[in-house]
Amino acid sequence: MHVHGNMLKLKRLGIDTYRENIIFMRADCHICRSEGFSALTRIKVQFGDKSIIATLNVVNSDILAEGEVILSEIGFERLEAKEGDTITVSHPRTIHSLSDVRAKMYRRPLEDEAFFRIIKDITDGMYSNIEIAAFKEVTWTCMKSLD
More confident residue, 132 or 25: 25
CATH 2.40.40.20 applies to domain 3-90:
yes
Domain segments of the chain: what residues? 3-90, 98-145
**How do residues 37-80 score in pLDDT, each as one tens digit?**
999 999 999 999 999 999 999 999 999 999 999 999 999 999 99
Could you tell me the pTM of the whole model? 0.82
Contact 38, 69 (CB under 8 A): no
pLDDT of res. 109: 85
Residues whose CB is less than 8 angstroms from the CB of residue 12 and which lie 6 or more positions away in sequence, other chains included: 70, 71, 76, 82, 83
pLDDT of res. 2: 41
More confident residue, 32 or 107: 32
